[in-house]
Structure 1
Amino acid sequence: MTKIYVLDTNVLLQDPNAVFSFQDNEIVIPAVVLEELDSKKRDMSEIGRNARHVSKLIDSFRKTGKLHEQIILENGGTLRIELNHRSFHQLQEIFLEKTNDNRILAVAKNIAIEEEGKEDGKPVIIVSKDALLRVKADALGLLAEDFLSDRVVEVEHLYTGMQEIFVDIDCLRIFYEKGEISALDLSEKKTFYPNQFVIMKDEMGSSSSGIGMVDKRGANIKKLKSSYESIWGIRPRNAQQMMAAELLFRNDIQLVTMIGKAGTGKTLLALAAGLMQTEDLQSYKKLLVARPIVPVGKDIGYLPGEKQEKLRPWMQPIYDNLEYLFNTKKPGELDSILAGMGSIEVEALTYIRGRSIPEQFIIIDEAQNLTKHEAKTILTRVGERSKIVLMGDPQQIDHPYLDEYNNGLTYVLEKFKGESAAGHIKLVKGERSQLAQLAADIL
């Protein structure tokens, strides 16, 4: 049986092609949704871009028929703009105010009543990213669903970049003697991705173990290239940080993604690796560090001063790590060091569109606040002989239209996990302080 889906505005702002996600069912867009899209189309952010995209898409549908009647979509479903079901008679005793959300509910309720009077009536379902609108719909006896088609993967199934397997002691002996071992010799049932880390443990329970990395073809598991005892004055403190260092120093891996809770060392380790390869090894001409400008809590409004002064509060977490790495003690000392070096650039992602960035070590912090489109925009800026590192915590998102399932960081790491030019690792152990680790675990 076909169904009728009534779409909320936030679904279209999240995914401008959402109308093609409902197979051969009927899609209803209330007129108030068009009004809300119109109010967003001048926004210069990703939301505004999506609003303009949806507006043009719906306008293109006019060529196939009258939108207020019904038009057939290319996937076999239908779409119509609903103009005739605005009556608040069914809602007036429950929701007094005629807000936009309540107007959407009124459309769905009136269509549902109309369908109930038919012999072959169809189920009517509201689709919304707004949890409270779904709660209101339930109170009215309407079916309501979250929009899930934009989810890349469930977080519990998120690619970690490593897997742990138990092997025969002879396999460990061969691994250490030859420096590599065939993936088929370890397990015929396991699927290995290029540049994935494998922790091998003795199946008999001894303390023998080994850490290897899958090659580009996914055929062999090789020993890590270096122990990285000192990286710009710091050293990896656990196995996952050692794996991260391997990815950060491999010239054949152009894209590195790292996820982990606060305090796991993502930013510090990436900055140290970038400084070492830019200043000491001269592998790159410049270190570029950027992060999206998304406030935590209420926005503090416009900031005074020139561009760098305006950016300083947003970039302060980066400067905090640089102060630690340069071991600065006095106010202004870090600024003097950075001005003298000239090879370190701290920038906001606002200014990255249109650029081409060759021969640079690029670090994008807080990448979980990127949309899929923004992540694509950033990666397509990367020039020849550059390396880019995307890192963040998918469970700490400040963007109003993103969640842990559909953000740009999750999107990139899942799409690139089978590519030989990319590597990923999930950091699990906090190293900032005992209190920070405790807070990350229990709060």
Structure 2
Amino acid sequence: MKKTYVLDTNVLLQDPQAIFTFDEHEVVIPAIVLEEVDSKKRNMDELGRNARETSRIIDRFREAGELYKGVPLPNGGKFRIELNHRSFSKLEEIFLERTNDNRILAVALNLHLEAKKENKEVVLVSKDILMRVKADALGLKAEDFLNERAVQEDSIYDGFQEWEVGEEQLNEFYREGRLQIPEDKKKMVYPNEFIVMKNSINPSQSALGIVRSNQQVIEKCWYQEENAWGISPRNAQQIMAFELLFRQDIQLITMVGKAGTGKTLLALATGLMQVEDLGLYKKMLVARPIVPLGNDIGYLPGEKEEKLKPWMQPIYDNLEFLFDVKKSEDLDKILSGIGSIQVEALTYIRGRSIPEQLIFIDEAQNLTKHEVKTILTRVGEGSKVILLGDPQQIDHPYLDEFNNGLIHVVEKFKDYSLSGHVKLLKGERSSLAQLSADLL
């Protein structure tokens, strides 16, 4: 049975290509949605880009016919703009104000009442939770737009597995430093995935390895006893992080975890060691998104460094700890003297080419898929990229735990040997911080 999908503005602002994702069904855009899209088109951020792209897509449809009557879509469906707001009278007793959201609901409700006579189904598609709740209260079917989700199930790749193995296999691993992966498990592992092996009889005996050589063997981790600027790993997942951060053949690293799990500190400590002590990279580029990415930092007073300071303060806090300084003025002197640490706004990364650098992006969960692509396509030869974030702490209005740019990178790159991922589980900042992260 063909359905009619009414799209909310936030769906188009997240993905202008959403119009083409409903197969053979009819896609309807209320006229008020066009006005909302138009109001965003001058923005110089991701929303503005998507608003302009949506406008261009709809403009091309005009060549195929009159939009208010409907034009065919490439996948066999139909697209039209709905001008009818007659059903608002049916909402006035429930939702008094004629807000844009209520006007969209009015269009969907009117279409729903008309479709009931023909035994057809109308679905409102919106990223706004309360919009879906209001639709449900009116007897309208409402759905979230899930096409941009990196995973369809609510499970994100962790970067490690736990296996039960025999004592003989454990002894072989410790003796040889590697272990052949059983045939029945070769298709169950990803490149650079970590395996926690536990003795099936005595679970207190365990070993940690990493999948290497085209998923044929598990190798011993090289850097589990490494120390970087006074920082050593405190738990299994931090050992995994050290392994990924130090390996030169892994060019893209993603790390996720709750606040206090040590993502930023581990990345900065290992980065300083590789840039300053080992000379593996010319520079370390450190950045955090100004949410939303693309907002001009010119509204803040002072020079660029002063404007960036409030956004970058968590980075400076970790650097003060690593350099063991008591005053922020002392840190400024150290950084200016070193010259190999660059703090930059992601706003200005477009168009650059960044070779032989360690690129460190914090709070990457607030990036869209397009923004992450913009960053990764700037990477030059000999560079390594580290993306950090907590998918459960999203500040972007149109992103969630499963459709943000960080998780897209985690899921899309897990099959490739040039990337590695780990999810940090245990908080190491303090017992209070860990308890707060779990309870709140």
Q: TM-score, normalised by structure 2?
A: 0.96
* 1:7-41 C-alpha deviation (Å, 9 max, x unpaired): 10001111111111111111111111111110011
Identical-pair percentage:
66
Structure 1 counterpart of 2:345, from 320, 345, 348: 348
- Hey, what does 1:188 align to over in structure 2? 185
Report how far residue 89 of structure 1 moved. 2.2
Distance (Å, rounded) in 2 between the aligned partners of 1:109 and 1:189: 52
Match for 1:43: what amino acid?
Answer: N
> What is the Cα deviation at residue 205 of structure 1?
2.2
- Match for residue 327 of structure 1 among 302, 324, 327: 324
2:155 is matched with 157
**Corresponding residue number in structure 2 for 1:435:** 432
Residue 241 of structure 1 corresponds to which residue in structure 2? Answer: 238
* Secondary structure in 2 matching 1:361: strand
Contact 2:191 2:414 survives alignment (8 Å): yes
Is residue 3–residue 124 contact of structure 1 (8 Å, CA) maintained in 2?
yes
Q: Is the 8 A contact 2:186 2:215 kept in 1?
A: no
The equivalent residue for 1:223 is: 220
- Partner in structure 2 of residue 129 of structure 1: 127
1:138: which partner in 2? 136
In structure 2, give the amino acid aligned to 1:32: I
Amino acid at match of 1:50: N
Per-residue deviation at 1:116? 2.0
Q: How many residues are matched?
A: 437
CA-CA distance at 1:226 after TM superposition: 2.7
* Cross-structure match for 2:65: 65
Instruction: Name 1:417's counterpart in structure 2.
Output: 414
Distance in 2 separating the partners of 1:433 and 1:84? 58
Q: Which stretch shows the higher mean deviation, 237-246 or 105-114?
A: 105-114
CA contact (8 A) 1:213 1:223 kept: yes
The answer as to whether partners of 1:155 and 1:405 remain within 8 angstroms in 2 is no
SS at match of 2:179: strand
Contact preservation (8 Å) 2:250, 2:417: yes
2: CA distance, partners of 1:266 / 1:154: 26
Compared with structure 1, are the counterparts of its residues 189 and 420 closer, same or farther at alpha carbon in structure 2 (3 Å cutoff)? closer
* CA deviation after TM superposition for structure 1 residue 330, in Å: 3.1
CA spacing shift, 1:156–1:132, aligned 2, 3 Å: closer
The question of whether the paired residues in 2 share the 8 Å contact of 1:86 and 1:103 is answered with no
Residue 382 of structure 2 is matched in structure 1 by 385
Cα displacement (A) at 1:422: 0.1
Partner of 2:252: 255
Q: Does the 8 Å contact 2:186/2:216 carry over to 1?
A: no
Aligned to 2:41: 41
Contact 1:201–1:210 under 8 Å retained in 2:
yes
Q: Distance in 1 between matches of 2:96 and 2:258?
A: 43
Q: 1:31-81, CA deviations, whole angstroms, 9 ceiling, x for partnerless residues? A: 111111100111111001001111101111112222111111111111111
User: In the alignment, residue 4 of structure 1 is paired with which amino acid?
Assistant: T
Q: Name the SS for the 2:223 alignment partner.
A: coil
Alpha-carbon distance, 1:114 to partner: 1.4
State the alpha-carbon separation in 1 of the partners of residues 202 and 225 from structure 2. Answer: 28
> 2 CA distance for matches of 1:421 and 1:383?
14
In the alignment, what sits opposite 2:372? Answer: 375
Could you say what secondary structure the match of 1:426 adopts?
A: strand
Gaps in structure 1 of 5+ consecutive residues: none
Task: Kindly state the Cα deviation for residue 350 of structure 1 after the two structures are TM-superposed.
Answer: 1.0
2:53 partner amino acid: H
Residue 166 in 1 paired to residue 164 in 2?
A: yes
Please give the per-residue CA displacement for 1:184-225, whole angstroms capped at 9, x wherever unaligned.
Answer: 16x537611000000100111242211110014111111112
- Cα 1:134/1:227, change in 2 over 3 Å: closer
| Displacement of 1:83 | 1.5
Alpha carbons 2:288, 2:312 under 8 Å: kept: yes
Greater shift after overlay, 213-222 or 422-431?
Answer: 213-222
Return the letter of the residue paired with 2:136. D
Q: Is the 8 A contact 1:256 1:422 kept in 2?
A: yes
Q: Secondary structure at the match of 2:123?
A: strand
* Contact 1:243 1:425 (C-alpha < 8 Å) held by counterparts: yes
Whether the aligned pair in 1 keeps the contact of 2:297 and 2:308 (CA below 8 Å) is: no
Given that 2:87 and 2:109 are in contact with CA atoms closer than 8 Å, whether structure 1 keeps it comes out as no
1:93 Cα deviation from its structure 2 partner: 2.0
Alpha-carbon separation, structure 1, partners of 2:297 and 2:428: 31
Which residue identity is paired with 1:83? Answer: L
The amino acid of 1:320's aligned partner reads: D
1:200-211 to structure 2, matched below 5 A, reads 200-211=197-208
Matching residue of 1:18? 18
Give the C-alpha shift of residue 96 in structure 1: 2.2
Deviation of 1:229 (Å)? 3.2
Q: Is contact 1:195–1:216 with CA below 8 Å preserved after alignment?
A: no
Partner Cα distance (2:313, 2:223) in 1? 32
The one-letter code of the counterpart of 1:148 is: L
| CA RMSD, Structure 1 to Structure 2 (Å) | 1.7
Structure 1 residues 154, 233: CA separation in 2 closer, same or farther (over 3 Å shift)?
A: farther
Aligned-pair CA distance for 1:301: 9.6
Q: How does 1:79-94 map to 2 (within 5 A)?
A: 79-94=79-94
Distance change (3 Å), C-alpha of 1:344 and 1:351 = same
Q: Distance in 1 between matches of 2:186 and 2:350?
A: 44
Distance 1:205-1:31 versus aligned 2 partners, 3 A rule: same
Matched to 2:109, the amino acid is K
SS state of the match for residue 401, structure 1? Answer: coil
Give the corresponding residue for 1:100. Answer: 100
SS of 2:158's partner is coil
Local SS of the residue matching 1:89: helix
Relative distance call for 1:179 and 1:278 in structure 2 (3 A) is same
Q: Evaluate the alpha carbon distance shift between residue 330 and residue 142 of structure 1 in structure 2; reply closer, same or farther with a 3 A threshold.
A: closer
Structure 2 distance, partners of 1:125, 1:155, is: 22
Is 1:363 equivalent to 2:360 in the alignment? yes
- Residues 198 and 214 in structure 1, CA contact (< 8 A), matched pair in contact too: yes
Aligned to 2:146: 148
Q: Work out the CA distance in 2 between the residues paired with 1:52 and 1:355.
A: 23
Residues 354 and 379 of structure 2 are in contact (CA less than 8 Å); yes or no, is this contact kept in structure 1? yes
Check the 8 A contact 2:223/2:239 in 1, yes or no: no
Distance 1:42 1:107 in 2: 27
Distance, in Å, in 1 between the alignment partners of 2:107 and 2:379 is 47
